[in-house]
Structure 1
Amino acid sequence: MGRAARRGWALPALFFGSFLESAIFPWPIEFPLLAEMLRGRKHVFPAALATALGSAAGAMAVFIVAGIAAGLVESWVTARPEFASDLDEVRTRLELRGGLAVFVAMLTPVPVQLTSLAAGFAGLSAPVFALAVLCGRCLRFAAMAVLVFFYGERLMEWWRARPAPWRHLATGFFVALFLVALAASLWL
């Protein structure tokens, strides 16, 4: 990510990674987003915006596919008990609360794919869905951006003041955590 950022590819990489995270498989996009944000204050809000737009585009892709092929996709999802109950729960919330339920789901750890599929199955209005997803994802990543904007430099100063072996151990822990989360998202 660092090499891509120095070559000017950080924002397209964040957009594409966020698109994949929302459209295909859930993985922690926050880690590469945070890495880009910590490059400096001028990188914070563009990185958050690229990630939010990529996430919204991925969610819209799933929503459109679900709307077009609801019968085929629904039978595939409902055949998997681990997804079927989540899908039914999300669908019920969407039928009752529509765009507000989508907006709230975009702020939570609920997989974006399930919300998008359920909204497509439930026949939620495309403009309502798009607005709810975009507002929810922008708010989620903007909140992260504000925190990094105000506290990121102090956090980096604190980090650099730690002994090198401690930093290496902590970095290894977070890389392992990222790989475990990525593997879990592929397994689910």
Structure 2
Amino acid sequence: MRIFRHLYDKVLNWSHHRHAPYYLAGVSFAESSFFPIPPDVMLIPMVLSKPLKAWNFATITTISSILGGILGYLIGYYGFELLGEPLVKAFGYEESYARIVSWFAHYGFWAVLLAGFTPIPYKMFTLAAGATQMALFPFVIASILGRGIRFFVVAGIVLYVGKRLEPVIVRYIDAIGWATVLLVVLAGLAYWLFC
């Protein structure tokens, strides 16, 4: 099945659309508070299609992600029981959320800073930061650093090696996609069995 090649082509087409930066901003904003898909799925093909705008795209992604993170923080701070908790349960992130809350108790600022590099969705960190009433200013600073580093590194890697890797990615996209799905399933099983 060539599902991943079809999805790759579709996202690449979206990245050429004249409103693509707005779509990128919307996905980045939403992902930080309630949307399950990371903005990298738009950032990467946009940098591939318009490499001269790589840093602009990374900036859009970072700023939008931080603004969405502030919304997630406010949801956690003022309405965790009403809005945040149902989001956590809807995405099946109860265990991740509990782990993040314990990280906040020990690491606070550093937990948010490192959130951009963990496999745990950033929205869980934003909700937990608000729910545990972390001070807003350190939260925003940590988000700027963590999210900024992540998205600029992604844009830089794609900018410098993306065009050389694109033919390989296109050729093996379905194998890469199915291998990723298999790894996620195996990691989930291992976590379920041993943790």
Alignment-derived partner of residue 139 in structure 2:
129
CA contact (8 A) 1:77 1:84 kept: no
Q: Identity across aligned pairs (percent)?
A: 22
Unaligned 5+ runs, structure 1: 180-188
Matches within 5 A, 1:34-183: 34-73=44-83, 76=86, 82-156=92-166, 159=167, 167=170, 170-171=172-173
- 1:141/1:74 CA distance change after superposition, 3 Å: closer
Select the residue among 8, 13, 24 that pairs with 1:14. 24
Amino acid at match of 1:37: V
What is the CA–CA distance in structure 2 between the aligned matches of 1:87 and 1:36, rounded to whole Å?
Answer: 31
Mapped to 2, the partners of 1:117 and 1:50 lie a distance apart of 22
RMSD: 3.1
Q: Name 2:186's counterpart in structure 1.
A: none
1:184 maps to which residue? none
Which secondary structure does the structure 2 equivalent of 1:69 belong to?
helix
Unaligned runs of 5+ in 2: 1-10, 182-195
Separation in 1 of the partners of 2:160 and 2:37? 26
**Counterparts of 1:81 and 1:147 in 2: how far apart (Å)?**
30
Stretch of structure 1 that moved more, 46-55 or 119-128: 46-55
Q: Give distance in 2, aligned partners of 1:4 and 1:28.
A: 15
Q: Is the 8 A contact 1:28 1:178 kept in 2?
A: no
Deviates more, 1:114-123 or 1:38-47: 38-47
Q: Cα offset for 1:55? A: 1.5
Q: Aligned pair count?
A: 172
Matched letter for residue 65 of structure 2: S
Describe the SS at the equivalent of 1:38.
Answer: helix
Q: Shift in Å at residue 93 of structure 1? A: 0.8
